[in-house]
Structure 1
Amino acid sequence: MSKRYGGKFSPEEGRPPQTPSERGSFRGARRTRAGGRVNLLFFAPLPLAARAFGSGPTELALNLTALGALLLAAWLTREGILAQEAYEARKIARRPAIPRKMFASLLTGLGLGVAGLATSGVSAAPLIYAVLGTALHGFAFGLDPLKDKGMEGVDSFQSDRVARVVDQAEGYLKAMTDAIKRAGDRQAEARLERLQSTVRDMLRTVEDDPRDLTAARKYLGVYLMGARDATIKFADLHARAPNPQARDKYLALLADLEQNFTAKTRALMADSTTDLDIEIEVLRDRLEREGVHLETRDLA
């Protein structure tokens, strides 16, 4: 029988399997849709700038207005897609406060209509451009989420509490990511990504069972805010004058936080399992009092 060759210099030899926390924040990540064709929207209207300065004052004003409307539409489209991706990534989320993609569709139609007016004058052509531009943009990029997303059996007040805490926690994580980039330390960035992955595991656990919010609030609020402040201070210090001792302390802090968040998340999941077992036992007792006898495997 053939045997795979391996030695101490083989890539996989002696390497321990990765734990979930060592896989970084790319675990479960998906490619963003806010690229490619969205970026083309920023370049497509640029010829209007050349046309604007090669004609009279009326055409100048119309072309620049069309250029501004189309660039604003491109920016709103990108922001709308990012907001929708954040909405889809969560199990409990509020709809975006501003329907960015819908406004972008209207601005696209407005920009094309004004550009057509600068070229064709007052006629049916600008109206056709406006209607087609609005419709095609809407078909290409879709509509914004129009309703809040929650879970069955969870009241709106509890869903709003979870959504607010998740939004706040994601804000802390984003601030930490922006700050650590200033330090220019790849190892610190990778270590922070592992912590962020662990924090997001807790966020998903709280979204699965909003009753865990009370137990996790201190972690997602006080501890995460402290981690953000420490990251900002470390990044500022490291950017001015690298300090190996401060760096070691910061990395040790991230490691401690990761362990604490992991332990708390496991405790929350264990509590959820215990609650399920209790509900099953209560249901079994009620059925037996009604004269219905079930095998253990029926409700296990």
Structure 2
Amino acid sequence: MRMTRPSRQQPQSSGPLESGIGILMLAAFPLLLLLFQGPPVTAFTAVLMLSLFAVAVRLIHRGAAIAAAYDAAESAKAPRLPRKMIGSALLGLLVMILAGHHFVSLGMPLGLGVLGFGLGVAAFGRDPLTDKEGAPGEELRQLRTQETLDRIDAAITTAVADVAALGDAELSRRAEALQSGVMGLLNAISQDPLAARRLRKPVARFLDLLGKENARLIDAWNTDDRLRARRRYLGRLTALGEAFEDRLRKAGAEQGRDAYDVEADLLWNRMVDKQVA
């Protein structure tokens, strides 16, 4: 069984052309024409307008990247500066200034500026305004550990069911006792996330060996080699249980537990094994 650490995908940052802002940049071309037409005052005004436009585009682009990271995270804080909203407001201001040259009253340019702001918000969205709280770190670690234990238990249960299908009561009892002991040890040691991570490879190795032994037993069950395969399987179950117990001792020592605590856990699981058997 292969266990992998759940990973959290990081949002890919998109460039201006990939995020749709490239279409907005096309609106700057009329301003570029002002640099080459009219008196120097017009060119100076065009430079100011282009600078304002560049700041707005930069704010919207950065705000979109922050919003994407916010959406991908399980828990995140809202940005202090609503960059997309400010960028849209600057676009509205730019529209109002450009429209002011074509109308006598201020009402129409102001309305067009508000419309430009609204279209910017509609096109690029609003900034996150509230913090997003995910599951607490400790609770999340416990949930992932329990999910891993459930998968291991399901894998061993499948192996035990394969043995039980052979109709041998002694083999079934020994396999069930092994399952109970292994899961008891795992539950005891998995209270520490660091120790649980150290046991990933031993657990994967244990499941692999158990699967191979089951396959050998099942293949030989309907042959003349049944009795020898049965004795070998019982011996291998004992060896697997003892090897896993030894690995638990090492894991307990690595996480700083004294020998008494480890022996107490092992004694408890032996009592469970005897009750099952």
Q: Scaled by the length of structure 1, what TM-score is found?
A: 0.40
Q: Scaled by the length of structure 2, what TM-score is found?
A: 0.43
